[in-house]
DNA sequence: CAATTTACATAACGCCGTTAAGTTTGTCAA
DNA sequence: TTGACAAACTTAACGGCGTTATGTAAATTG
């Protein structure tokens, strides 16, 4: 087993493989972006077709199958990108303050903001395809459980600091989840809760929950 | 213009028309029920087809178009039946007690129960096709606004009786709606809130909201 | 340069919603 | 009773869909 510098041929082969891999990933990206574009243009994924995606990006429909097993998997990966961005925004909110109560409020705001700014993704992730929540993402990517974990940790920390009455952090996090989801989901699904009203209801809900959970102020 | 008893002929004609009208309504019923059956069997209306409905009831697919303008209208009428049952159950809960606070709680329970017992309808009505909420039902049927009105009236009465802090009943009703919808929607869309847990969270939410809204007890 | 693999496209299958064009069956005036 | 007419229904067809099998031209490899 001799340790020698790679020959020109070996380098060429390696770089060639890399280049082709890059091209492959690029097309995958292109497909995903075209799909998201279609989702947004038609306000949902119900009436979008692989053939439309293919037409838009200038490939035949069957080429998509070289990058995604089927339509379902393409949609799933759109949702996955949503979960990733969602988790990152919650994390950022969590890291933004050391005040345990303010942090909790910021995480809640980040949650609502994601829903307000990405209604198509939110709908897909939490209203239409909740089964995606439990579907194992490929290659150890983050799943939504981690996102819920952020909220739970924020609750836990607030309890430990005495800013919230002691209790089951998981349960309290669940309660808060239903509150903010209620506002977000009705905002997205119905015409009765436009942005400003949804934001107002969210603040109100947080205040009420804070009182009910023993917070001095939230 | 003489007033005479209807001739045999006239009676026959009238009854014949009635009979055929009855047959028409019966087939319409049959179609609707077959559609609901398919919804329930496949857990949603996303993958159901008119041709499946037709096959199930023993008619050709095109016959459905004699009773519904298109697939959309058939689905809409399934939702309409949901809205009707929903409104009736809220009304019944409202009428069940004279205690303004208990009544509020009962209306909330009725709302949650409808969602727990009719997840497919609830999903259709409040999670997927919120646009149906504003679509005028044919022939002066009830719309969901009336259902929201029940909740608002319950809040109003509780305020007038001094059982809740004074405020905008519409806004408070909206707040309560987001709370119960949050629980119901997450129960239906995700695997994380099974029945018992959803019910527990609902009670908890109500208690917290009551405290936050100035109720003595709820 | 020949063999092989990669990256695509074409054709086809069965299903879909929907419309157009029949066909049967019942009604009704004469 | 008959013949026109309308109602209730079916069959055929169109274009679009997801998906698979098959072909093909180009890139890669030995």
pLDDT score for A1? 40
Question: Measured between alpha carbons, how far is A47 from A51 in angstroms, rounded to an integer?
Answer: 11
Alpha carbon separation from B151 to A195, A209, B100, B101, B173 (Å, rounded): 22, 21, 11, 12, 6
Among A167, A176, A190, the residue to mutate for chain B (most B Cβ within 10 A): A190
Q: Does the beta carbon of A80 lie under 8 angstroms from any beta carbon of chain B?
A: no
* Residue A62: CB less than 7 A from any atom in strand D: yes
Residue A65's nearest nucleotide, by CA–C1', is D19
- Beta-carbon contacts of residue A8 (< 8 Å; ≥ 6 apart): none
pLDDT score for A11? 46
- Chain B residues close to A207, C-beta within 8 Å: 212
pLDDT score for B18? 52
- Beta-carbon contacts of residue A112 (< 8 Å; ≥ 6 apart): A180, A183, A184, A198, A199, A202
**Token representation of residue B1:** 């213009």
Residue A41 has a CB neighbour count (10 Å cut-off) of: 11
**Token representation of residue A135:** 């579907």
Q: If you count them, how many residues does chain A have?
A: 218
Alpha carbon separation from A176 to A7, A179, B27, B185 (Å, rounded): 60, 5, 47, 14
pLDDT tens for each residue of B31-78: 999 999 999 999 889 999 999 999 999 999 999 999 999 999 999 999
Is the domain defined by A7-68 classed in CATH 1.10.3470? Answer: no
Q: Which of B154, B198, B160 is nearest to B179 (CA)?
A: B198
Question: Measured between alpha carbons, how far is B153 from B170 in angstroms, rounded to an integer?
Answer: 9
DSSP secondary structure string for all residues of B146-173: HHHHHHHHHHHHHHHTTSS-SS-HHHHH
pLDDT score for A25? 73
Instruction: Determine the CATH number of domain B1-68.
Output: 1.10.10
Per-residue pLDDT of chain A (218 residues; tens, 9 = 90+): 433 334 444 444 454 455 455 566 789 999 999 999 999 999 888 999 999 999 999 999 999 999 999 999 999 999 999 999 999 999 999 999 999 999 999 999 999 999 999 999 999 999 999 999 999 888 766 666 689 999 999 999 999 999 999 999 999 999 999 999 999 999 999 999 999 999 999 999 999 999 999 887 65
- Chain B residues close to A46, C-beta within 8 Å: 46
Q: Specify the fold of A70-218.
A: Tetracycline Repressor; domain 2 (1.10.357)
Closest residue by Cα to the C1' atom of nucleotide C26?
B16
Q: How many Å from the CA of A28 to C1' of C8?
A: 14
CATH architecture of structural domain B76-218? Orthogonal Bundle (1.10)
Burial of A65 (0-12, 13-18, 19+ CB in 10 A): middle
Radius of gyration of chain A (CA): 22
Q: How many Å from the CA of B16 to C1' of C24?
A: 19
Residue B156 has a CB neighbour count (10 Å cut-off) of: 18
User: Residue A98 in contact with residue A55, Cβ under 8 Å?
Assistant: no
pLDDT score for A40? 95
Q: How many Å from the CA of B8 to C1' of D4?
A: 23
Question: Measured between alpha carbons, how far is A88 from A208 in angstroms, rounded to an integer?
Answer: 27
- Chain A residues close to B126, C-beta within 8 Å: 186, 189-190
Share of chain B above pLDDT 90, in %: 78
- Chain B residues close to A175, C-beta within 8 Å: 201, 204-205, 208
- B212 → closest Cβ in A127, A131, A211: A211
Where are chain A's structural domains? 7-68, 70-218
**Torsion angle defined by CA atoms of residues B77, B80, B84 and B90, in that order, rounded to the nearest 10 degrees:** 150
**pLDDT class for B185, splitting at 50, 70, 90?**
very high
- A212 → closest Cβ in B178, B182, B208: B208
Question: Measured between alpha carbons, how far is A111 from A89 in angstroms, rounded to an integer?
Answer: 8
**pLDDT class for B22, splitting at 50, 70, 90?**
low
């Amino acid at each position: 087993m001799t340790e020698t510098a790679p020959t020109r041929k070996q380098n060429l082969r390696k770089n060639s493989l890399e280049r082709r891999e890059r091209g492959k990933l690029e097309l995958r990206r292109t497909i995903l972006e075209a799909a998201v574009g279609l989702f947004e243009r038609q306000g949902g994924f119900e009436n979008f077709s692989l053939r439309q995606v293919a037409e838009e990006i200038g490939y035949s429909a069957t080429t998509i199958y070289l990058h995604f097993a089927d339509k379902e998997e393409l949609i799933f990966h759109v949702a996955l990108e949503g979960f990733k961005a969602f988790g990152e925004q919650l994390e950022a909110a969590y890291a933004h303050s050391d005040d345990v109560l303010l942090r909790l409020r910021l995480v809640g705001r980040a949650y609502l903001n994601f829903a307000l700014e990405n209604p198509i993704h939110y709908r897909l992730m939490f209203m239409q395809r909740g089964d995606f929540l439990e579907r194992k993402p490929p290659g150890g990517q983050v799943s939504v459980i981690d996102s819920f974990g952020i909220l739970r940790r924020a609750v836990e920390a607030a309890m430990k600091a005495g800013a919230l009455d002691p209790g089951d952090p998981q349960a309290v996090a669940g309660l808060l989840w239903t509150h903010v989801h209620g506002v977000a989901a009705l905002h997205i699904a119905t015409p009765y809760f436009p942005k400003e009203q949804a934001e107002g209801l969210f603040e109100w809900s947080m205040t009420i929950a804070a009182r009910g959970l023993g917070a001095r102020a939230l």
